[in-house]
Amino acid sequence: MAVDATRSAGGLRAPALRINVGVLILGAAILLLGYLTLVPLGMLLLGSVSAGASALDFEFTLRNFQRVLTDQASIELLGNSVLYGAGAALLAFTIGTAIAWVVERSDIPARHIWYGLALVPLIIPGIIHTIAWLFLLSPEIGWINAPLKTLFGFSLSIYSLPGMIWVEGLHSAPLAFVLMSAAFRMTDPSLEEAAATSRSDPWSTLRRVTLPLLLPTIASVVLILFVRALEGFEVPAIIGIPGRIYVYTSRVYLSLHQSPPNFGLAAAYATVLLVISVGGLLLHRRATRRTERYATVTGKAYRPRRQRLGRFRFVAMAALGLYGLLAVVLPFVVLIYSSLVRVYSVPSFDFFNELTLENYAYILGDELTVRSIVNSLVLGVSAATLVVALTAVIAWVNVRTRIRGRGLLDFLAFVPITIPGIVMGIALIWVYFTIPIRIYGTLWILLIAYVTRYLPYGIRGTTAGLVQIHQELEEAASAAGAHWWATFRRVTVPLLRPALVGAWIYIFIISLRELSSGILLYSSQSVVVAVRIFDMRDSGQYTAIAALSVMMIVSLVILVALLQRVGGRTVREA
Amino acid sequence: MKRLTVFTACFGLLAAACGGATAPTAAASPTVSAATPAAAASRETADEAMARLYALAKAEGRVAIYSSMNNDDGKKVFGAFEAKFPGLKVDHTRASGEDLITKIVTEKKAGQDLFDVVESNLFEVAFIIDQKYTQPYTVASVADFPDQVKGKDGAYIGVRMNNDLPGINTQKMPAGVTIKTWRDLCNPALSGKIAVEQGDVVVYSALRKILGDAEAQSVLKCIAANKPSLRTGHTDMANLLAAGEFAATLSSNGHRLAQLKNEDKKPVDWARTDPIITDIQPMALSNKPPHANTAKLLMEFLASPLGQAAIQSTGRVPASSKTAPKYPDLNNFAKAFYISADLRADQDKDTEFWRTTLGIK
pLDDT at A515: 92
Contacts of residue B277, defined as CB under 8 A and 6 or more positions apart, other chains included, come to B163, B164, B165, B203, B206, B207, B210, B251, B337, B339
Q: What is the greatest pairwise CA distance in chain A?
A: 82
User: What percentage of chain A exceeds 90 in pLDDT?
Assistant: 39
∠ Cα A481 A484 A487 (to 5°): 70
Nearest to B102 among A141, A257, A378 (CB): A257
- The residue among B70, B229, B256, B352 with the most chain A CBs within 10 A of its CB, best to mutate, is B229
Least confident of A3-17, A305-319, B76-90: A3-17
Which of B90, B109, B132, B356 best probes binding to A when mutated, by most A CB atoms within 10 angstroms? B109
The mean pLDDT value for A94-111 works out to 90
| CA nearest to A489 within chain B | B3
Look at B232 and A429 and tell me if their CB atoms are within 8 Å: no
Q: How does B107-145 read in b/e, with b if 16+ C-beta sit within 10 Å?
A: bbbbebbbbbbbbbbbbbbbbbbeeebbbebbbbbbebb
Instruction: Assess contact for A383 and A454: CB atoms under 8 A.
Output: yes
Q: What is the pLDDT of residues A244-260, one digit of tens each?
A: 899 999 999 988 888 78
User: CB distance from A138 to chain B under 8 Å?
Assistant: yes
| Tally of CA atoms within 13 A in the half-sphere of A439 that contains its CB | 16
From the CA of B341, how many Å to the nearest CA of chain A? 15
Give dist(CA A60, CA A51) in Å, integer. Answer: 6
Q: For chain A, which residues make up each domain, given as ranges?
A: 1-45+371-526, 62-297+304-365+539-574
CB B263 within 8 A of CB B172: no
Interatomic CA distance for residues A346 and A456, integer angstroms: 44
Q: Do A53 and B109 make contact, defined as CB atoms within 8 angstroms?
A: yes
Nearest Cα of chain B lies from the Cα of A500 at a distance, in angstroms, of 16
For residues A524 and A547, the answer to whether their CB atoms sit within 8 Å is no
Residue A440 near residue B106, CB atoms below 8 Å: yes
Are A261 and B93 an interchain contact pair (Cβ–Cβ within 8 Å)?
Answer: no
Using CB atoms and an 8 Å cut-off, which of residues 63-102 of chain A contact chain B?
A: 73, 76-77
- Fold match flag (B35-161+280-327 vs B163-278+330-358): yes
pLDDT at A306: 76
Taking an 8 Å cut-off on Cβ atoms, the answer to whether A368 and B71 are in contact is: yes
φ, ψ for residue A207, nearest 5 deg: -75, -40
Backbone CA torsion sign across A112, A117, A121, A123: positive
Separation of alpha carbons A179 and A228, rounded Å: 14
Q: What is the reported pLDDT for A15?
A: 46
DSSP string, A482-544: --HHHHIIIIIHHHHHHHHHHHHHHHHHHHHH--TTTTTT--TTT--HHHHHHHHHHTT-HHH
Amino acid at A408: L
- Cα–Cα distances (Å) from B47 to A103, A241, A338, B54, B155, in that order, read 73, 47, 44, 10, 22
Q: B301, B282, B315: which is closest to B53 by C-alpha?
A: B301
Predicted pLDDT of residue A120: 84
DSSP 8-state class, residue B228: P
Distance from the A483 Cα atom to the nearest Cα atom in chain B, whole angstroms = 18
Give chain B positions within 8 Å (CB) of A542.
236, 239
Residue range A185-197: average pLDDT? 75
Q: What is the CA radius of gyration of chain A?
A: 25
Which residues does A258 contact at the CB level (< 8 Å), separation at least 6? B98
- A55 close to B (CB below 8 A): no
User: Which helix (H) or strand (E) segment is B63 a member of?
Assistant: strand B62-67
Distance from the A226 Cα atom to the nearest Cα atom in chain B, whole angstroms: 24
Residue partners of A293: CB distance under 8 A and separation at least 6: none
Structural contact between residues B343 and B213, judged by C-beta atoms closer than 8 angstroms = no
Residues A544-569, mean pLDDT to the nearest whole number: 82
Q: What are phi and psi of B163, to 5 degrees?
A: -85, 110
Whole-number Å distance between alpha carbons of A542 and A533? 9
* Any B CB within 8 A of A540 CB: yes
Higher pLDDT, A133 or B70: A133
Q: How far is A380 from chain B (nearest CA, A)?
A: 10
Least confident interval from A357-366, A562-571, B293-302 = A562-571
CA-based Rg of chain B, rounded to a whole angstrom? 22
CATH number at A1-45+371-526: 1.10.3720.10
Would you place residue A303 in the very low, low, confident or very high pLDDT band (cuts 50, 70, 90)?
low
Per-10-residue mean pLDDT of chain B, 361 residues long, equals: 44 43 33 40 84 97 94 93 97 89 91 94 94 96 95 95 95 94 96 92 95 97 93 88 93 94 93 95 97 98 97 95 93 93 91 91 71
User: In 3D, which of A285, A334, A305 has the Cα closest to residue A190?
Assistant: A305
Q: B35-161+280-327: what CATH class?
A: alpha beta
Contacts 24+ apart (CB under 8 A), A150-159: A157/A243, A158/A133, A158/A134, A158/A239, A158/A243, A159/A239, A159/A242, A159/A243, A159/A245, A159/B229
CB B152 within 8 A of CB B226: no
Q: Cα-Cα-Cα-Cα dihedral of B133, B136, B137, B138, to 10°?
A: 150
CA-CA distance, A448 to B111, in Å (whole number)? 18
Query: pLDDT per residue over A74-87, tens digit each?
Result: 888 999 999 999 99
By mean pLDDT, which of A352-361, A371-380, B78-87 is the weakest? Answer: A352-361
pLDDT of B34: 37
Is A515's Cβ below 8 Å from some Cβ in B? no
pLDDT at position A288: 67
> What is the C-alpha separation between B95 and B242, in angstroms, rounded?
22
- Ranges of each domain in chain B: 35-161+280-327, 163-278+330-358
Q: A440: part of which helix (H) or strand (E)?
A: none
Of A141, A159, A259, the CB nearest to B124: A259
Cα–Cα distance, B158 to A377 (Å, whole number):
39
Q: Which CATH class is domain B163-278+330-358?
A: alpha beta
Contact A401, A22 (CB under 8 A): yes
Residues of B in contact with A256 (CB under 8 A): 102, 106
User: Strands B62-67 and B117-119: what pairing?
Assistant: parallel
A506 and A342 in contact (C-beta within 8 Å)? Answer: no
Whether residue B110 contacts residue A440, with contact meaning beta carbons closer than 8 Å, is answered with yes
Mean pLDDT of A336-356: 83
pLDDT band for A329, please (50, 70, 90 cuts): very high
Average pLDDT over residues A191-205: 77
Q: If you write DSSP's letter for every residue of A250-307 in order, what string do you get?
A: HHHHHHHSSSS--HHHHHHHHHHHHHHHHHHHHHHHHHHHTGGGG----SS---PPPB
Q: Which helix (H) or strand (E) holds A216?
A: helix A215-231
- pLDDT for the residue B28: 32
> Contact B13/A53, CB-based, under 8 Å?
no
- Nearest one of B53, B34, B40 to B304, comparing CA atoms: B53
Quote the CA–CA distance of A452 and A429 in Å, as a whole number.
14
User: What does the mean pLDDT of chain A come to?
Assistant: 85
**Closest to A530 (Cα-Cα) out of A226, A286, A238, A92:** A238
Tell me whether the CATH fold assigned to A1-45+371-526 matches the one assigned to A62-297+304-365+539-574: yes
What is the mean predicted confidence (pLDDT) over A104-111? 86
CB–CB contact B232 A538 (8 Å): yes
CATH number of A62-297+304-365+539-574: 1.10.3720.10
Q: Which amino acid is at A295?
A: A
Q: What DSSP assignment string belongs to B247-311? A: SEES-EEHHHHHHHHHTS--SEEE---SSEEEEEEEEEEESS-TTHHHHHHHHHHHHSHHHHHHH
